[in-house]
Chain A
Amino acid sequence: MKIPPTLSVVLSNLLKKPATNPFPHTDPVPTPEGFRGKVVYHVDKCIGCKLCVTVCPAGVFEYVEEIKKVTLWLGRCVFCQQCVDVCPTNALEMSNEFLLATYDKYDDNLRWLKDEEIEELRAKQGGKT
């Protein structure tokens, strides 16, 4: 029987610091440049060109005819960034946010342009025209 080669590694590891990040007590591991987190939508920049609706593989976007904007439900998003790349006005943007766990799949955090906001916008636009 020979001595397992792992023995010295294991024993010297005992004297080293653990190589882990105790997350809830410290900051999470920093996200790299170009990290694809939660999609951020700037409603005012959107011109309603529907390109994002066409390109999204996961069906996150829904076009709202009356106000010529899109609504998003990020419960389905696969973080492929295609909508961000295709948007001509940069109305869409990837953020660094990745702590998206929730108790409710229709959580406010996962939706952009909620029903009330749509109503509001419609009222505004209706007032204008």
Chain B
Amino acid sequence: MNIIYITLGLIAIYLYVSFVSLLWEGLDRKLVARMQRRIGPPILQPFYDFLKLLSKESIIPRDANKLFELAPVLALASSIALLAYTPLGFEPLLATKGDVIVFIYLLTLIAFIRVIGAVSSGSPYAQIGAQREIVMIASREVPMMLGLFAILWRLSKLGVEKPFSLGTFYQYNIWEIGTPATIVGTLILLVVFIFWLASEIEVGYFNIPEAETEVAEGPMAEYSGRHLALFKLSNALKEFASASLVVAIFFPWGLSGYLGISGIGALIIDLLFHTLKVFAVLFVSMSVFRAVTGRLKITQAVGMFWSRIIPMSLIGVILLAIDVLGGVIA
């Protein structure tokens, strides 16, 4: 019975998140348009784009191998699987001890599948994009993992049922600890995560692998038709899941507790509130960042991660750690 409920839940979440993440794409395009004093497309434009791509002919290059056609399906599959581990205002469906590793794994896997698809296309443009993507993955995941593990470790000190699960954010949040060192440390980590989010969804500074004007869409250069549609959808899902992670770590408060609602109603209220918070985080990390900054070179972006963001993350983590260890020593 339980398994059936989880399956139904996953399907419902998948449908909801697909809708909401495409809706956000539309909102984002509208907002960026308004920031540049344009009118912009209608809010539902990504849905039209998606349907158009589905109805188009999909062209398979002569030099492409089997993985080229398989990659979009795998990417979508892993982003749907990711949703089962994504905190969406309530505990993830499959929350268990240590599921944070699965979350990170699936999140990175989507990017790897993109790279595999690009390499299989036989186009040098896609390969340049793929190389850049790999370099970006190697740099951006380090500060994120450092911060995420440090925060989960700190929370597990408070005595949670499932340590190192993304569900723990809804038991205790990091602001509750309240000592100055944690608060400063968490604020630093918040900045780190905002940058990580921007590089995960590849906007602004970090729009490097796709780089329309430079390497003609990079990894996506050879994709067309429904293959491209699947990639676009899985990207949108990944965007939502990444932003959900940031929201869950830093702003996990739900509304249902205050309103005194329970059961299914609470889930829905929390989901809607969570969606709003995701939109707010994406607004800062995606829309504004995209409108305000240009692209970095790949060397600059890697340099930025290793020389600025990873040290920042380290400082945050040390501040969090000092709190606990200091208490032990004293």
Q: Which residues of A contact B (CB under 8 A)?
A: 1, 4, 6-7, 10-11, 13-14, 16-20, 22
CB <8 Å contact, B292 and A18: no
Check: B188 CB closer than 8 A to any chain A CB. no
A19 to B33, CA, bound (A): 11
B38 to A14, Cβ gap below 8 A? Answer: no
CB pair A13–B36 under 8 Å, yes or no, is yes
Q: A10-B292, A18-B40 are in contact. List 18 more A-B contacts (CB 8 A).
A: A1-B308, A4-B292, A4-B293, A6-B291, A6-B292, A7-B288, A10-B35, A10-B36, A11-B35, A13-B35, A13-B36, A14-B34, A16-B37, A18-B33, A18-B38, A18-B39, A20-B37, A20-B38
16 contacts between A and B (CB under 8 A): A1-B308, A4-B292, A4-B293, A7-B292, A10-B35, A10-B36, A10-B288, A10-B291, A13-B37, A14-B31, A14-B35, A16-B37, A18-B34, A18-B37, A20-B37, A22-B39
CA distance A16 to B39 in the complex (A): 11
- Roughly how many angstroms separate A17 CA and B33 CA in the complex, as a whole number? 11
Cβ of A82 to closest chain B Cβ, rounded Å: 38
A17 nearest in chain B by CB position? B37
Q: Main SS of the interface on chain A?
A: loop
Question: From residue B274, how far is it (CB to closest CB) to chain A in Å?
Answer: 24
Nearest A residue to B32 via CB reads: A10
Minimum CB distance partner of A4 in chain B: B292
CA distance A1 to B308 in the complex (A): 9
Residues on B with C-beta less than 8 A from A6 are 291-292
Closest to B35 in A: A10
Which B residues are in CB contact (< 8 Å) with A7? Answer: 288, 292
Which chain B residue shows the least CB distance to A12?
B35
A10 CA to B287 CA in the complex, in Å?
10
Docked complex Cα distance between A94 and B21 (Å)? 52
Q: Is the CB of B34 within 8 A of A13?
A: yes
User: B16 to chain A: closest CB distance in Å?
Assistant: 28
Q: CB-nearest residue of chain B relative to A16?
A: B37
CA distance A14 to B308 in the complex (A): 31
Complex Cα spacing A17 to B291, Å: 17
Q: Give complex CA distance A11, B31 in Å.
A: 10
Min Cβ gap B254→A in Å is: 29
Q: With a CB–CB cut-off of 8 A, which chain B residues contact A17?
A: 37
A19 and B37 within 8 A (CB): yes
B292 contact set on A, CB distance < 8 A: 4, 6-7, 10
Q: Which residues of A contact B39 (CB under 8 A)?
A: 18, 20, 22
Q: A residues within 8 A CB of B40?
A: 18
**Residues in B whose Cβ lies below 8 Å from that of A10:** 35-36, 288, 291-292
A7 to B257, CA, bound (A): 36
Whole-angstrom CA separation of A7 from B292 in the bound complex: 6
User: How many angstroms between the C-alpha atoms of A6 and B288 in the bound complex?
Assistant: 10
Most buried by B among A6, A11, A14, A17: A14
Please give, as numbers and ranges, the residues of chain A lying within 8 Å of B33 by CB-CB distance.
18
Least CB distance from B313 to A in Å reads 15
A19 to B40, CA, bound (A): 11
Residues of A within 8 A of B293 (CB): 4
Least CB distance from B196 to A in Å reads 15
- Determine the residue in chain B with the shortest Cβ distance to A7: B292
Nearest neighbor of B195 in chain A, beta-carbon distance: A1
- Which one of A1, A13, A19 has the highest number of Cβ atoms from chain B below 10 Å of its Cβ? A13
B118 CB → nearest A CB, Å: 31
Q: Which residues of A sit under 8 angstroms from B288, Cβ to Cβ?
A: 7, 10-11
Query: B31, B34, B38, B293 — which one has the most chain A CB atoms within 10 A of its CB?
Result: B34
Within the complex, the shortest CB–CB distance from B56 to chain A, in Å, comes to 24
Measured in the bound complex, the distance between the Cα atoms of B36 and A125 in whole Å is 62
Closest CB-CB distance, A112 to chain B, in whole Å? 39
Residues 118 to 146 of chain B near chain A (Cβ within 8 Å): none
Task: Give chain A residues whose Cβ lies under 8 Å from the Cβ of B38.
Answer: 18, 20
- Nearest chain A residue, comparing its CB with the CB of B39: A18
C-alpha gap A19/B38 in the complex (Å):
6
